[in-house]
Amino acid sequence: MTHASSPSARPLRVTRAQAPLSGSIRVPGDKSISHRALMFASLARGETHITGLLEGEDVLRTAAAMRALGAQVAQHAPGDWRVSGLGIGKLREPEDVLDMGNSGTAARLLSGILASHGMVSVMTGDASLRRRPMKRVMDPLAGTGATFMAREGGRLPMAIHGLADPRPLDYRLPVASAQVKSAVLLAGLNAQGQTRVEEPVATRDHTENMLRHFGAHVKVEETPQGGRVILLQGRPDLVARDVVVPGDPSSAAFPIVAALLVPGADITISTVGLNPLRTGLFITLQEMGAQLEVTNIRTEGGELVGDLHVRASSLKGVTVPADRAPSMIDEYPILAVAAAHASGVSRFCGVEELRVKESDRLAATVALLENNGVKTAVEGDDLVVYGTSNAIPGGGVVQTHMDHRLAMSASVLGLVAQNPVEIDDTAFIDTSFPGYLQLMNSLGAGFAL
């Protein structure tokens, strides 16, 4: 699968790091929490003050969408935003199409809100998002009584005819997905009675945490099979509450792995989110032998945060169980780079969800490694990476398929490869990690901007 580069493409040639990475940084705010903070603040009565908001393109699309739906959403300083919400069920019909850019999270979560308001709306996105399936949220949300019209396969653009008095849902997710779970819960906010969602494996629970933070009644029960049942009482009185957004652990993954692989590196990353359902990568890297220390653990805005101290380490291959996948689904491309540099064989089990991310991320991750001399195999839903014992050949061209995480993963691989790595486009990195290349250069990466 290849795509022509966009007219504004920013290719990058990455050469091996000439010096150890060092210094202290803070990564941008958590993307998942930033999206949800804007949405819940718009559904709450009163003014919410949000600090640390991620100001990447994806989140700015959510801000624009909530503004188009009638909430007052304004930036007061970098990372400092104020939102005056309208209350549950009070959003207004947008005058134009809602363009969600590259953000699948924004599109899927917003579907739950739009389905449960008495309005007609249309959502679209960029070329990448228009290829991604929305049927996984359309199917459960249709149970509210809302109607959807979309392109073949449930792809954007999509028209939604929502209901002012939607039915509450009782839905069991066929596969673990925090986005689908959240869409159902958001639809349940404006439904009379109780909404019930059952997930086969526990996924990131930022939506549940934020619902409680704004005053909703949410109950979570563990199932004997290791999943969870979430119960939400409909039509709560959500009241404005300030939100502090921690650093995004998915963004922290890239400087972390870079520091583990570049000889002599020693860095600190402050105020990173440590939600237990998001830290699968940190656990996996420690199993591989990473010198990754978590300090100054504390709670901010209902979320656990801490500081990370990372030093260059000799890593060994690891088997990652399938039940860990939901806690690190976005981190597999950069973990694959770590596994490629390690000694021994790594197996990532049950990574089928990667096929429906910004790109077919599984195929693209395989291509990223194979094009740079690293042997891999896909066996069913498992990805196998054969480590090179600190000797990644490099010298390849990486097709990013408009996927920010692939571009960042390729940049880290280039820092330790024996030959320069060519990346076809880095423009999309700003969707989730604005200033990534500059921040890495502040540690000594030496990216040629």
Binding residues: 31-32, 36, 104, 132, 177, 179, 330, 357, 361, 405
Active-site entry in 205, 330, 403, 430: 330
Q: Hey, which residues does 377 pair with through a beta bridge?
A: 384
- Upstream peptide bond of 157 is cis (omega within 30 degrees of 0): yes
List CB contacts of 7: < 8 A, sequence separation 6 or more. Answer: none
Q: Hey, which residues does 348 pair with through a beta bridge?
A: 320, 383
Q: How far apart are CA 407 and CA 97, in angstroms?
A: 29
149's enclosing H/E stretch is strand 147-151
Residue 323 annotated in active site: no
Report yes or no: 235 and 15 within 8 Å, Cβ to Cβ: no
Q: How far apart are CA 114 and CA 186, in angstroms?
A: 9
Give the residue ranges of the annotated binding site for 3-phosphoshikimate: 31-32, 36, 177, 179, 330, 357
Q: How far apart are CA 125 and CA 58, in angstroms?
A: 11
- In 266-381, alpha helices (H): 280-287, 332-341, 361-370
Give the residue ranges of the annotated binding site for phosphoenolpyruvate: 31, 104, 132, 179, 361, 405
- Taking the CA atoms of residue 180, residue 181, residue 186 and residue 189 in that order, the dihedral angle to the nearest 10 degrees is 150
Q: How far apart are the first and last CA of the chain?
A: 27
* Sign of the torsion angle spanned by Cα atoms 274, 279, 282, 283: positive
List CB contacts of 13: < 8 A, sequence separation 6 or more. Answer: 414, 420, 421, 422, 423, 448
Active-site positions read 330
